[in-house]
A and B are shown apart, each in its own frame.
Chain A
Amino acid sequence: GAVVSQHPSWVICKSGTSVKIECRSLDFQATTMFWYRQFPKQSLMLMATSNEGSKATYEQGVEKDKFLINHASLTLSTLTVTSAHPEDSSFYICSASSGGAVKTQYFGPGTRLLVL
């Protein structure tokens, strides 16, 4: 149980284009999804928190107009990197939780983005 998928697993795009990453909870309903970014040999950095049906809450320093997050259903959240640039190249990981007094997060396998 508690399986989270991400698609695509990796993507290469040209600078200036937009890329959409999907995060799905396969066997549970996720009231909250989180988006992280991980640089090589570093820990995870939380980018934003999204609750189903409401606007995402972005962490300080994360551009909300650049990283668009949509959480339209209890099983799907999307992250769109708009007008991607080489510095946006990174490993993006989502997680999903089903609520409760303390939320246990279950992570997807990650999406590696390379912007040329």
Chain B
Amino acid sequence: AQSVTQPDIHITVSEGASLELRCNYSYGATPYLFWYVQSPGQGLQLLLKYFSGDTLVQGIKGFEAEFKRSQSSFNLRKPSVHWSDAAEYFCAVASGAGGTSYGKLTFGQGTILTVHP
């Protein structure tokens, strides 16, 4: 069964500092990986996704993530955090076609980001 682990429940950074949110996955085949962001009381917004190709993917709002197969990781990064980035971030892995779990997302536990001025 696939699983996703986000080791950090809560991270606090200062505005302007760099950010890295960790994500490790367990999946038997080629993983399809996503990062979503959720503001309080809101749905999830897609930041970026990795299906294949270049292992460094660029997303919206200045975020990027790097897929490292050898480490089973898909960490999210941003060089300079803005106060508006404060939210909860979810990493997720999806099943590809051909299985009964086709398209289902498995989410990590989420990482809450607090940004100090």
> Which of A's residues lie within 8 Å of B, judged by CB?
2, 4, 6, 32, 34, 42-44, 46, 49, 91, 93, 95, 97, 101-110, 112
Cα A105 to Cα B90 with chains together (Å): 13
A sample of 18 inter-chain contacts (CB < 8 A) reads A43-B109, A44-B105, A46-B104, A93-B43, A97-B103, A101-B96, A102-B32, A102-B97, A102-B103, A103-B94, A104-B46, A105-B103, A107-B44, A107-B45, A107-B46, A109-B42, A110-B43, A112-B41
Whether the Cβ atoms of B103 and A44 lie closer than 8 Å is no
Interface of A: prevailing SS:
strand
* Pick from A43, A103, A107: contact of B103, CB under 8 Å: A103
Interface 1/0s, chain B 71-103, versus A by CB < 8 A? 000000000000000000010001011000011
**Inter-chain residue pair count (beta carbon < 8 A):** 58
* Pick from A2, A32, A102, A107: contact of B36, CB under 8 Å: A107
Q: Which residue of B lies closest to A101 (CB)?
A: B97
Whether the Cβ atoms of A93 and B109 lie closer than 8 Å is no
Whether the Cβ atoms of B108 and A43 lie closer than 8 Å is yes
Shortest distance from the beta carbon of B82 to any chain A beta carbon, whole Å: 22
Shortest distance from the beta carbon of B42 to any chain A beta carbon, whole Å: 6
Whether the Cβ atoms of B105 and A105 lie closer than 8 Å is yes
Q: Which residue of A lies closest to B107 (CB)?
A: A43
Q: Which residues of B contact A91 (CB under 8 A)?
A: 41
